[in-house]
């Protein structure tokens, strides 16, 4: 006797079948994968074929795809880089959320909506879909661009902003005539939140790396995959336990592991699960659209949908102008942040539970958000096919793209302050190079000075091929972003092994990562200029120019040799520090001996001033 298949197995089959059918069709029609997933959800949901009915349960589970996505985004951001983003996160992020919320609230109040309802609706509709926006940013490789960084910063702030918005709902519910706010032990709740966040930070710094090393040494790949998922699930559960954003906790964990040697392996293990769960999330969004409410009040839902989309488009485009984003990047940036977001579902459901507004109002707002998420990929297609070509022609200079195969022997990736010096020196020697840069404003400025620079992202394999990487001899990697630099090197090493790579290193870690990839011609961007400044200081203190030059050259040679001695110990912190300290002491001893030998030939003023400086102690 054949037993009936369990419901979870049946549902899994339905989800996978719907995705396998709908997504390729959507991609074939040029609509994108997200539209395919949303259409699949509508098709199998309560208002389609009715094959799946437990929509909310599926939506809660599928939100874990967003959690995994934020964890992987965190892995790409080192703590120092995240700290450098603090101003755009809290500056532009707060400007976007508060600007959109205030405008939306004002319009709602003008139409006679109670201010409490208008406030919650404005705050909820001001949030954007992290899943859709980051997916589109990743597909378009926009993260290294100014608009990608700005969009990511604003999305990260929105995840943080969802917490105080949810905390505000009980108070507004009481003011709207609901139950009194239960104060409880606020101090205990705050202590619980601080303890969990502190535990994640402390554990990420102290415990996670030894644990991951122990698991990796077991030689069982599937257990490392299980440990990776356990890490994300555990942190998400902790954050949910204290009422915080699961995605925010996963992002924090990713940042803490961004400098770990296991970062790439974690990415490789989690990436397939993220893709599947994100697809399931979009399917669940499609199933959650309540067409009953939409059909009951089609005019009202259309007014809410196009009203809040239109207002957000205006506010966000104005913000893009204030941020001075490149012309060509503003339309995509605006559309990516205009649609409603997944956190709005949580806010509106919680608002109905707190009696801020009725369940029917909640359904109307959730329906409008879901429809905006459905429209967002279509708006992006419109921007790509219609708006951007005419926009580039009328709003700013038309950037020349590589349309014909280039055959020059040298390619320069990145033409900022560093790449320009390389390019100008080659030009002075009668040598030409194919130059690529992804900053539209910089490209326009440099072209005004007579340089031929192609607008494009050198991390794209197809662009490198068109630039002539298959036949070129030398690739100069002069981009500013460390992750982008390493990605270009990885692509070149894999697909164009004949290329000799000359790279710019921003710091010691970057230098080590480039050497790990077999790049031997690496120059630290500030090293030579810093040496020249040191020479100037010595000369101003009275040292003869030729002696100052010799001192700088000896220091340079010693520093290069010290780097080579430190490189084999780059993953052993204690040994690395020991080698560095020993090298510094050797240099100081050598220099002291040379000073004694030259003391008789130096003027008294030099000895006096140099001695005064020495008493202040050496700078490590």
- Examine the pLDDT at 250 and tell me if it is beyond 80: no
Among the listed ranges 26-35, 315-324, 435-444, 458-467, which one has the minimum average pLDDT value? 26-35
Distance between alpha carbon 17 and the CA centroid of its chain, in Å?
32
For residue 184, name the pLDDT band (cuts at 50, 70, 90): very low
**H or E stretch at 199:** helix 186-202
The pLDDT tens digits of the residues spanning 20-56 come to 888 888 777 766 677 787 788 888 877 777 777 666 6
- Examine the pLDDT at 4 and tell me if it is beyond 60: no
Contacts of 198 (CB under 8 A, 6+ apart): none
Q: What phi, psi does 74 have (nearest 5°)?
A: -60, -35
The predicted pLDDT at position 183 comes to 45
Rounded distance between C-alpha atoms, residue 385 and residue 394, angstroms: 16
The predicted pLDDT at position 489 comes to 92
Rounded distance between C-alpha atoms, residue 80 and residue 89, angstroms: 14
Rounded distance between C-alpha atoms, residue 536 and residue 541, angstroms: 9
Mean pLDDT of the chain: 76
Contact 497, 522 (CB under 8 A): no
Token pair of 221 as six digits: 């790949």
**H or E stretch at 332:** helix 330-338
Contacts of 290 (CB under 8 A, 6+ apart): 47, 363, 366, 367
The predicted pLDDT at position 568 comes to 82
Of 183-197, 427-441, 527-541, the range with the highest mean pLDDT is: 527-541
Which residues share a beta bridge with 328?
none
Q: What phi, psi does 341 have (nearest 5°)?
A: -125, 170
What would the mean pLDDT of 171-175 be, rounded to a whole number? Answer: 63
For residue 342, name the pLDDT band (cuts at 50, 70, 90): confident
Rounded distance between C-alpha atoms, residue 66 and residue 157, angstroms: 15
- Examine the pLDDT at 553 and tell me if it is beyond 70: yes
Rounded distance between C-alpha atoms, residue 410 and residue 431, angstroms: 9
Q: How many CA atoms lie within 13 A of 274 on its CB side?
A: 22
- Examine the pLDDT at 441 and tell me if it is beyond 90: no
Q: How many CA atoms lie within 13 A of 31 on its CB side?
A: 16
Q: What angle do CA 296, 299, 300 make, to 5 degrees?
A: 80
CATH number of 54-393: 1.20.1530.20
The predicted pLDDT at position 215 comes to 78
What would the mean pLDDT of 442-457 be, rounded to a whole number? Answer: 74
What would the mean pLDDT of 190-204 be, rounded to a whole number? Answer: 70
CATH number of 410-525: 3.40.50.720
The predicted pLDDT at position 26 comes to 79
The predicted pLDDT at position 144 comes to 66
The predicted pLDDT at position 2 comes to 42
Q: Would you list the domain boundaries of the chain? A: 7-53, 54-393, 410-525, 538-615
Dihedral (CA of 86, 90, 95, 100) sign: positive
Among the listed ranges 135-144, 360-369, 555-564, which one has the minimum average pLDDT value? 135-144
The predicted pLDDT at position 395 comes to 52
For residue 442, name the pLDDT band (cuts at 50, 70, 90): confident
The pLDDT tens digits of the residues spanning 65-121 come to 667 766 776 776 666 666 777 777 788 888 888 999 999 999 989 988 888 888 888
The pLDDT tens digits of the residues spanning 278-299 come to 777 777 777 777 777 777 888 8
Beta strands in 164-312 (DSSP E): none
Q: What DSSP string describes 135-152?
A: HHHHHTT-TTSHHHHHHH
Rounded distance between C-alpha atoms, residue 171 and residue 183, angstroms: 10
The predicted pLDDT at position 182 comes to 47
- Examine the pLDDT at 542 and tell me if it is beyond 70: yes
The predicted pLDDT at position 204 comes to 66
Residues of the chain with pLDDT > 70, as a percent, come to 77
What would the mean pLDDT of 602-613 be, rounded to a whole number? Answer: 50
For residue 180, name the pLDDT band (cuts at 50, 70, 90): very low
567-573 CB contacts, 8 Å cutoff, 24+ apart: 567/512, 567/515, 570/512, 571/261
Distance between alpha carbon 204 and the CA centroid of its chain, in Å?
20
Output 429 or 2, whichever has higher pLDDT: 429
| Strands 434-437, 410-413: pairing kind | parallel
The predicted pLDDT at position 21 comes to 85
Q: Which residue has the tokens 């070129």?
A: 472
The predicted pLDDT at position 366 comes to 80
């Amino acid at each position: 006797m054949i037993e009936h298949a369990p419901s979870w197995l049946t549902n899994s089959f339905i989800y996978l079948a719907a995705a396998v059918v709908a997504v390729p069709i959507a991609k074939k029609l040029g609509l994108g994968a997200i539209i395919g997933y949303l259409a699949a959800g509508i098709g199998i949901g309560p208002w389609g074929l009715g094959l799946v009915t437990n929509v909310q349960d599926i939506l809660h589970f599928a939100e874990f795809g967003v959690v995994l996505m934020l964890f992987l985004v965190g892995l790409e951001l080192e703590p120092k880089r995240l700290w450098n983003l603090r101003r755009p996160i809290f500056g532009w992020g707060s400007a976007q959320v508060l600007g959109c919320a205030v405008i939306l609230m004002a319009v709602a109040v003008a139409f006679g909506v109670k201010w409490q309802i208008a406030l919650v609706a404005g705050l909820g509709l001001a949030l954007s879909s992290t899943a859709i926006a980051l997916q589109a940013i990743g597909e378009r490789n926009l993260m290294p661009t100014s608009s990608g960084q700005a969009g990511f910063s604003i999305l990260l702030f929105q995840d943080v902003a969802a917490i105080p918005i949810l905390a505000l709902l009980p108070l507004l519910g009481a003011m709207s005539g609901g139950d009194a706010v239960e104060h409880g032990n606020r101090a205990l709740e705050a202590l619980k939140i601080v303890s969990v966040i502190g535990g994640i930070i402390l554990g990420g710094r102290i415990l996670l790396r030894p644990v991951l090393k122990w698991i990796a040494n077991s030689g069982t790949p599937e257990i490392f995959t299980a440990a990776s998922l356990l890490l994300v699930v555990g942190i998400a559960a902790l954050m949910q336990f204290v009422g915080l954003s699961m995605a925010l906790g996963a992002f924090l964990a990713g940042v803490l592991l961004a400098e770990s040697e296991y970062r790439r392996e974690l990415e490789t293990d989690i990436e397939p699960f993220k893709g599947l769960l994100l697809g399931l999330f979009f399917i669940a969004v499609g199933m959650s659209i309540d067409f009953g409410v939409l059909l009951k009040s089609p005019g009202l839902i259309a007014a809410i949908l196009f009203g809040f989309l239109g207002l957000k488009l205006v506010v966000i485009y104005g913000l893009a102008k204030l941020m001075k984003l490149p012309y060509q990047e503003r339309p995509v940036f605006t559309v990516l942040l205009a649609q409603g977001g997944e956190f709005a579902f949580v806010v509106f459901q919680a608002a109905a539970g707190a009696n801020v507004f009725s369940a029917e109002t909640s359904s109307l707002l959730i329906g409008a958000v879901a429809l905006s998420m459905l429209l967002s990929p279509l708006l992006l297609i419109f921007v790509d096919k219609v708006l951007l070509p005419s926009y580039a022609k009328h709003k700013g200079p038309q950037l020349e793209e590589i349309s014909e195969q280039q055959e020059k022997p040298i390619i320069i990736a990145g033409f900022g302050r560093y790449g320009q010096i390389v390019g100008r020196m080659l030009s002075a020697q009668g040598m030409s190079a194919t130059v690529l840069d992804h900053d539209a404003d910089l490209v326009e400025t440099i072209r005004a000075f007579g340089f031929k620079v192609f607008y494009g992202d050198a991390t794209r394999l197809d662009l490198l091929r068109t630039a002539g990487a298959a036949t070129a001899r030398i690739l100069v990697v002069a981009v500013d972003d460390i992750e982008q630099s390493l990605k270009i090197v990885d692509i070149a090493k894999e697909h164009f092994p004949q290329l000799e790579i000359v790279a710019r290193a921003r710091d010691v870690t970057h230098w080590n990562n480039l050497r790990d990839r077999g790049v031997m011609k690496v120059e630290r961007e500030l090293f030579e200029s810093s040496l020249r400044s040191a020479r100037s200081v010595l000369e101003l203190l009275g040292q003869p120019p030729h002696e100052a030059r010799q001192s700088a050259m000896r220091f340079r040679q010693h520093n290069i040799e010290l780097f080579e001695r430190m490189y084999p110990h780059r993953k052993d912190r204690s040994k690395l520090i020991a080698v560095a300290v020993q090298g510094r002491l050797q240099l100081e001893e050598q220099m002291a001996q040379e000073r004694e030998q030259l003391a008789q030939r130096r003027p008294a003023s030099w000895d006096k001033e140099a001695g005064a400086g020495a008493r202040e102690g050496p700078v490590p």
